[in-house]
Structure formats: C-alpha cells, structure tokens
Structure 1
C-alpha cells in the first residue's frame, strides 16, 4: 500500500480566555488562549484566536525567559473546517470482500513532526494451504499483515520498515515455516515455527540496516551519494508493531519491537466489553526489560538511568539506533570518516538495544465482535486502553455494526445510553500493568464524554485523543499548533483498526469481489486512484 501520510470558550464582551494544561508530562492549567473579539477574526480557514506558546511560567524561566507576558508567542487557531481537513487528510478505509475473516480496516495518521516520523504498511497474501490435521484439506488461506512504525530521531528508519519489513517476514515464513508440498501447497506449521520466522525476519532486516549497509559504506567510502541513504536508517530509529492474521487458523500473531501497542476489543460471555493488551511496552521503565538489560550487562549500573537506555533512549527494543548497537571502535570510525559526533555516555558493552520482537498468539472470535486496534504510543499518551475500546464500541453502534445496549438505569436517570463511554473490563495479562498510562486529564479508566462524527474509526480515535474528554476546542487547539512546537504537546499519531468477520465463506463466494474496495465515505482525504489488494 502507498505510504499513509496519509477555540476558546468565549466569556465576556471584550476578552475570551480558556485554559488548557499541556506540558511535557501532562495537562495543567498554564497555557492560555485569548481572543481580542468575542467573535474572533476568520480568514482562509483560520480563526484568529491566539494561543500562548509558553508551556508554563516555570518552563519559561528555566529556558532563559522572565515568565512574563512578553515571553509568550501567539499562533492562529484553525476553524472547524480546516481542522477536519487536516484530521482526515491521511485517513484510508477498505472493505475486505474476500470472505476470509476480515471485513474492514481503517487507518489514519496525524503528523506532529515535519516530516512525520511514523509510518505504516498493510498487505494481503493469498496462500494455498494443506492442513494435515484436517485430512490434508486444501484451503486458500489469506495472510493479513498490518504494521505501525513509530520512528524517532528522523523518518528514514520507519520508511525503510514500511518498504521492506513485511516482505522480509513473508520470505522467512515461506522459507522456514510454511513448507511447500509436492502439490505446490503450503503445510500449516507449528505456532512456534511461525514465531521463529517472524523474529528471524525482524533481525535480518535490522542486521542489514545496522551492519551490512554500513560495511558497504566503509568498503566504498568514495560513494558519497550512498552515504546518507545507508547511514540514516542506521542512525535514526523506529519501533515496529506487526500483526499477522492467518484466515485458515483464525489466529492472530502480534510482534512488537518497542512501545507501540496492540489491543483486542471483544464481548465476553456476560455480554460485557473487554480489552486485552496484546503487547507489552518495551522501554527502560518496563521491569521485564530492565531485568533483561541488567542481566546482559551485569557490571553496568548505568545501563538504565531515568527509565532510559544509557540515560537517553526510551525504547529498549528498536530498529536502527546504531549508537546503542555499534562498538566504540566502529562508532569512532564512522564519525571520524563521515561526520563528527560524540559517543553515547556510558557506552561499554554494546549492543544494548535489539530489534528482536516479542511475539504473542491470540485466537480470534468474530462472533464476539472482535476488533484490533494498533497505534503508535502517541495515542496511548492521551487515551487509556479502556477508553479506546469504548470509543470504538460507540462508533460501531452509530455505524449499526452492533446494537446499542440499554439498561434500566438509563430510563431511571433519563440519560441516553450512549451519552458516555461504556464500561470496559481490562482482561490483559498482569505484565501489561506496567505499561505507560495516559498523562492527560481524565486518566486511566475515565468514562468521560466523547465526539462522534467521523466515518473512519481511526480518525475518530485520533480526534477523541486530542479532545480530552469530548472538548472540540481542545481538538482545534492541538491541531493548530505548528511543527516543531507541536511536539511539546503531542506526538505523531498513527492508528489502524481491523474488524474481524464470521462471514460464511461459501455464502460469500458468490457475491464477493475477492479484493479490497476503498470505502470512500471514510477516506475523506481522498485517493487519486483505486488501490488493489497485494495478493
């Protein structure tokens, strides 16, 4: 698939002021939005209401300012039309008309960095399968891949993963897991062999980025044009989250390198909505990752400092980030030959960071309305796991994918059943309890209000992440802050949502087109041409 790149509360007659608490660590009542007119001044998609860019008086003083009004700068706030255009610019939605267990998936991105450092990719591979556990029954299985890449220190590593990671994993699976039979079909392998193939694919590509390409550069230093192309994916970094769904086994594999996260929303036997975190954030704050690194580097007390690798890098697993993988001698050679740079502090026994993913397996139950949410960590900084599932549920109700549930309490208190988010039970493994929690107001388990106006559910999640509990003014503000200032308040946001289906394959065979169909209503950003499934 192609790269997806793809306000104020007026009070009084002369001055309107609203306070929004945004700092690097959370939301506090510091920054102000003011307007010199109660009606504002509009031009070219911009409503001329001003936002104070000083995060707080304390931050201003720390950075050399005085903390006074003259330290503040102002930016224009976009009107609703312009905000919607920007939110929907990179949204895409596809109907999957194949009768293979997936009915639809939606994608949306909202940049904060310029250019955006996040990326994503999707692919469908049709594979003839022979299952020895079912009397060598033949089935044309679909392999579905959805990936989210959260880049850092630049966009080049995530772009490399977008272009090559899925193909590298498919090649490893075809070579070492799904063996070819005499009838030119693929045998269904063990779950462990699939896990090993996925891990091998991740490590193979990272080795190419960090080791093989750099050796090419050292062997031919005269090729100046290749220097940036080969160096930058190694020096930049990216987390990677990949989901693999096999329509034959109805099993979902989730591979995570870094701190992007996958969630499974589902109904339990008591007709209650649940959320299961299918991945655990891999950072310097994770007890599991801290224990691993201390074990691998027993005589280095500074291997983890302030929740970061060598006191600097937050994710403990990532592609690229060669500064935490190369030896001291190699780094000196690279820096002396191509550009000057200091070695990381406390560098003693690299590598400290690995691209090896943790792979988990999950059975999908479409009759329980299972759906998958994958996102870069920018979403989880603003919404809890329960809120994300609750928001998808409310969206599904509006789209008539499911029927809204009502209770006697709604009648007693004369309150609409969809006025707030539904209760969602966290059924995640205990290891996920140490995951990063949202820092904005509301916090974990909040059942606050929300905004329900998007046809694309991924856009719906991003809008509500910015809304801080259903406040459209907050959305307009956060979308309006330009890069690079916006990085003080929000990260790049990339979201993919997948809906599974229990559609009967035989019944669907007569009517299905066998491919992907663009859902135009939920692709408001616009695609110039139809996109066909990569089969």
Structure 2
C-alpha cells in the first residue's frame, strides 16, 4: 500500500529523504484517505528521530497558536523533543497539523510571480514560483531584460532593436549563500562579457558575433564570477587575517555551493542558449502540427557523478585517482560534478587548512589529492525557437524532476494552456474511443537525442497506475509544483507534503523552483516605452512580489 523509501540527498549534505506513494487503484473514498494518513504518520514518526537527535524544535511559525481552535488545521500527531536543560517531553510536545486546502494554496502561491511581455518580439509571458523546504530556502533565481540595437548584416546592415532575455535558476546546497551571490551577480557578469563580444560598429550599433563567440562570453562570465567567489575573496582574507568581521560574508559563498541554469534568448536571431552548471534542467515543449502531437526536448544534460561523460572527464583530469568518483559522487561526497562555490573540492589542502585555522571551515573531503575536481564552467547548447509553434521553456531545480518525468511536465503545461485557451485541445483517435481521456495528461513524445536522454537522472518516486492532475492555479509554475507534490492528482497528498514543516519536510521533498516561458507572436508594437516592456500579471501573482525580478 505504501512504500517509504529513504535515499541520500541530491547535494553534498547526506540527509535522507523519503518519497511516499499510495496505490489508489484498489481502494477508494474514506478507506483510501485513512490508510494514506496512517502511512504518512508512520513516515513522519521515523522523521522525528532527526528532531530528537539534533534537538532542533519545530519552528513556531509553522504551527498554529497554542490552544487555537482552528478549523483550517487538523492535528496529525504530536512529536516530543527532549532538551538538554531538562524540560520534560510533556512540556515540550509540539503538534504537526494538516493544513486546509486554502492554507495549502496560500503557501504554494506565496512566492509566485507572473509577467506579461508587451514587446511583440516573440516572448509573451513568463511565470515563476518557489516552494521552500529548507529554512531558509537554498534555491534562488533572477531574470533580466536588456534592449540592444544591433547591425543586421543580412539586411543591408540595417538597425534592428533586439531584446536579450535572461532567465536563471540557482539550486544551492550546504547553505543559501552561494545561490544568493549568483542571484545578485551572475547575469551582470554574463552581460558584461557579451557587451565585449558584441563589438560596436562605426554606426554605433552592435555587431552580431558568431555563436561560438557568444558561448565563450557566457562561459567567461560564469568562470570569472566563480573565481571571485572561490579564489579572490579568500585571498583578500588571507592577506588581511584581522578582518574577522567580514570573514563570513566573503567565505560562505565559497564554502557552500550552488548549481546554475541560465537561458539566454535573442529575439532577433530567435536563438535560445541554455547554459548549465550542475543538475538543474531545461525543457522545450513544442507543438508538431504535422504529426498532431506535442513533443519535449531536454535542452541540458544533468552533470552528476552518474553521468558517464562527466565521470570520464574527471578520470582524464585525475588519471592516478581511480576513485575520484565513487558511488556516483565526486570523492564519494558531492553529487554535482560542476558547481559554483564548493571550495572544499577546489582549494589545495594548505589553503583549506589556513582558512580553517584563521577563520572557520569544514573537514577536508576524503582522498583530496589533486584539486580542483569541480568546475563552474557551463555546458551550453543552442536551439532555434518557433513562436508560431507555441514553444515554451520549462526551467527547474532538480527537485521537480525527482517527482515528474519530462513528458509529464510538458503534458501538465499543455493541459493548463488548454484551460487558458492559449491552445486548442488536440483530439486523437483514442479521445474518440474514450472521452474520459481528457481527464488524463496528453501524449507527449520525448525527442531528446538518445545520448543525452541516457545521462538524465530519472524521477525516483513510485507512481500510481493512473496519472491524473490538478488544475486550479493561474500561475503555470505553481501548477507544476502542485502537481509534482500530488503524485498523480491526489489533493490529499499535496496537503500532506505542504503541511510538513522544516526541517522534517527536507526528508520528503527538496526546495522547488520553477520558471516557465511562453514564446509567441503576440501583438506587434512599432513603438514602445521601456517602462511598459513588462507588466505584472496580477491574477497569477497572488502571493505578491516578495522577491522582485531583476529587470
């Protein structure tokens, strides 16, 4: 009935996580709900051992006021933790409560944002949502729009106004410090490198360089920022060891780490470049009118110790270290093979020892011999976008892909688009035979090349035989997160997972960050005001702009 599986965390902190699944094809109604709740309680009781071992009480802001007779919450069970000061377990009991549907939706929508792009240049909208599991959340994100006048050599060197769109997601680990640094700095570093790559002509217009030159500029932006985080900042401290006050600010982005996923879209060329450092993933959903079907293509490849290409790269760079990747992890510890920060896998032993002695640090990784092992250099792919085919881009941290397949993600976006009348439903022969198929996800074909597909990490939770879905959000990124937690369309399971407070929630789900970009022709505007380039889509921003995008 329920399989509770524990496995190691996807980053370098070896916390166990459980993903649960209840088979729904044999039991219905109240019996199903009762067995489900009993099973989840069993899993949560296992998780309380983490609380008692670490003496980490549940946060008060995750629980209702003591003694409050709230009709929105139902107590699942009580957990007690014994403090070292001798407070009895009875005095220190804390309950975990099942939140109401309304409260669950409020939490899911707390960090959602949506923007309408009134430019008429191929991008019409993008939605963003985050759901924390760590406290504070270790994920981050940023967006940027840059207007650039370029010289079109293929059109008599005419002046063309192009838009550079940037969307990025940062999946932090061992803390939030590195991802926060990337949020504030990475896009600026990349734009600065592109500024130098797009030379200025005698007409004071930017000359469009080759695709390879653009790729090199993006890589330089990534590497220069990581060099600042990992090397230049620590050098400042070692040269001025009396600066104890600034040590944390300079060192923490180096000692923690973060994956980075950045998409760069040029509206003039309609080229979409995806740069990935780590294991976040980008997907392109497209409508193939000729075949009357939707397709999904992975635009990035997960860079982990389970990727044979990444393993071969590390073995060639460290030929005398056959165990440089052990159990799918760098030096048996870090799963992403590329990341920002993570100085423990980049600094030499003497540097790590000096930092630890003069400031603070962590134990050296086992078998550290010839660092650096990890790099922030991204792998970049280029794809031509077809706005007329209703192309859309999905970017997400790996927490989403642990719960949904690529095909399911695109299918969920398609069903949401159909409800919003952005596309017309595609009817197949199966729809004629079984009208109830409209309640299921559409058939989506994964057209990713086989080599890249074989290197992707698969979703890990056990699935039901029937895959349903929930359709109740105005923001499509929120819609994806809700369905990722639903395990095939179960509202009860969403409520359960959202109700588990931090730090217990980390055993059942990761931080989730999702961005979805819709391409389309939109309205053509000959003239526009830079102030009206982006418009907040209020109905899909119900949580409020708590974390404003960088525009």
Matched, 1:50 2:55: no
Matched, 1:105 2:126: yes
Q: Provide closer, same or farther for how the CA distance between residues 52 and 435 of structure 1 changes in structure 2, counting only shifts above 3 A.
A: farther
User: What corresponds to 1:68 in structure 2?
Assistant: none
**What is the CA-CA distance between 1:418 and the residue it aligns to?**
2.2
User: What corresponds to 1:178 in structure 2?
Assistant: 198
Structure 1 unpaired stretches of 5+:
1-7, 24-28, 34-40, 55-71
Give me the whole-angstrom Cα distance separating, in 1, the residues matched to 2:504 and 2:549.
38
Partner deviation per Cα, 1:249-275 (whole Å, 9 max, x = no partner): 000000000000000000123121000
Structure 2 unpaired stretches of 5+:
1-21, 23-27, 47-66, 81-92
Matched, 1:327 2:348: yes
Q: Find the residue that maps to 1:18 and give its secondary structure.
A: helix
After the TM superposition, which parts of structure 1 deviate over 6 Å for at least 4 consecutive aligned residues?
A: 20-23, 510-513
Greater shift in the superposed pair: 152-161 or 406-415: 406-415
User: What corresponds to 1:478 in structure 2?
Assistant: 497
CA RMSD of aligned residues (A): 2.7
Q: Say which of 215, 219, 230 aligns to 2:250.
A: 230
User: What corresponds to 1:517 in structure 2?
Assistant: 535
Q: Provide closer, same or farther for how the CA distance between residues 424 and 346 of structure 1 changes in structure 2, counting only shifts above 3 A.
A: same
Partner deviation per Cα, 1:346-377 (whole Å, 9 max, x = no partner): 00000000000000000000111100000000
Q: Say which of 275, 279, 297 aligns to 1:259.
A: 279
**What is the CA-CA distance between 1:48 and the residue it aligns to?**
1.7
User: What corresponds to 2:418 in structure 1?
Assistant: 397
Q: After TM superposition, list the pairs within 5 Å mapping 1:1-400 onto structure 2.
A: 11=30, 16-18=34-36, 43-44=69-70, 46-50=72-76, 75-175=96-196, 177-268=197-288, 269-339=290-360, 341-400=362-421
Q: Say which of 464, 467, 487 aligns to 1:448.
A: 467
Give me the whole-angstrom Cα distance separating, in 2, the residues matched to 1:256 and 1:379.
16
Q: Say which of 401, 407, 411 aligns to 2:428.
A: 407
Partner deviation per Cα, 1:377-425 (whole Å, 9 max, x = no partner): 000000000000000000000000001122343343342x420000000
- Asked if structure 2 preserves the Cα contact closer than 8 Å seen for 1:97 and 1:517, the reply is yes
Give me the whole-angstrom Cα distance separating, in 2, the residues matched to 1:92 and 1:528.
9
- Asked if structure 1 preserves the Cα contact closer than 8 Å seen for 2:175 and 2:256, the reply is yes
Give me the whole-angstrom Cα distance separating, in 1, the residues matched to 2:111 and 2:493.
20
Q: Count how many residue pairs are aligned between Structure 1 and Structure 2.
A: 490
Q: After TM superposition, list the pairs within 5 Å mapping 1:490-501 onto structure 2.
A: 490-501=509-520
Give me the whole-angstrom Cα distance separating, in 1, the residues matched to 2:411 and 2:359.
51
Give me the whole-angstrom Cα distance separating, in 2, the residues matched to 1:186 and 1:240.
28
Partner deviation per Cα, 1:213-264 (whole Å, 9 max, x = no partner): 1001111111122100000000000000000000010000000000000000
Q: Provide closer, same or farther for how the CA distance between residues 300 and 51 of structure 1 changes in structure 2, counting only shifts above 3 A.
A: farther
Give me the whole-angstrom Cα distance separating, in 2, the residues matched to 1:264 and 1:440.
23
Q: Find the residue that maps to 1:418 and give its secondary structure.
A: helix
**What is the CA-CA distance between 1:511 and the residue it aligns to?**
11
User: What corresponds to 1:461 in structure 2?
Assistant: 480
State TM-score, norm by structure 1: 0.86
Greater shift in the superposed pair: 510-519 or 318-327: 510-519
**What is the CA-CA distance between 1:85 and the residue it aligns to?**
0.6
**What is the CA-CA distance between 1:339 and the residue it aligns to?**
2.5
Partner deviation per Cα, 1:455-481 (whole Å, 9 max, x = no partner): 000000000000000000010010011
Give me the whole-angstrom Cα distance separating, in 1, the residues matched to 2:297 and 2:279.
16
User: What corresponds to 2:19 in structure 1?
Assistant: none
Give me the whole-angstrom Cα distance separating, in 1, the residues matched to 2:96 and 2:549.
41
- Asked if structure 1 preserves the Cα contact closer than 8 Å seen for 2:171 and 2:179, the reply is yes
Give me the whole-angstrom Cα distance separating, in 2, the residues matched to 1:22 and 1:254.
39
**What is the CA-CA distance between 1:19 and the residue it aligns to?**
5.2
Q: Find the residue that maps to 1:302 and give its secondary structure.
A: coil
Give me the whole-angstrom Cα distance separating, in 2, the residues matched to 1:20 and 1:260.
34
State TM-score, norm by structure 2: 0.84
Q: Say which of 404, 420, 439 aligns to 2:440.
A: 420
- Asked if structure 1 preserves the Cα contact closer than 8 Å seen for 2:114 and 2:541, the reply is yes
**What is the CA-CA distance between 1:77 and the residue it aligns to?**
1.0
- Asked if structure 2 preserves the Cα contact closer than 8 Å seen for 1:20 and 1:32, the reply is no
- Asked if structure 1 preserves the Cα contact closer than 8 Å seen for 2:142 and 2:550, the reply is no
Partner deviation per Cα, 1:9-65 (whole Å, 9 max, x = no partner): 8747xx944258789xxxxx96699xxxxxxx99447422416989xxxxxxxxxxx
- Asked if structure 2 preserves the Cα contact closer than 8 Å seen for 1:108 and 1:458, the reply is yes
User: What corresponds to 1:60 in structure 2?
Assistant: none
- Asked if structure 1 preserves the Cα contact closer than 8 Å seen for 2:392 and 2:519, the reply is yes
Give me the whole-angstrom Cα distance separating, in 1, the residues matched to 2:247 and 2:549.
35
Q: Find the residue that maps to 1:401 and give its secondary structure.
A: coil
Q: Which has the higher contact order (CA 8 A, sep 6+)?
A: 2
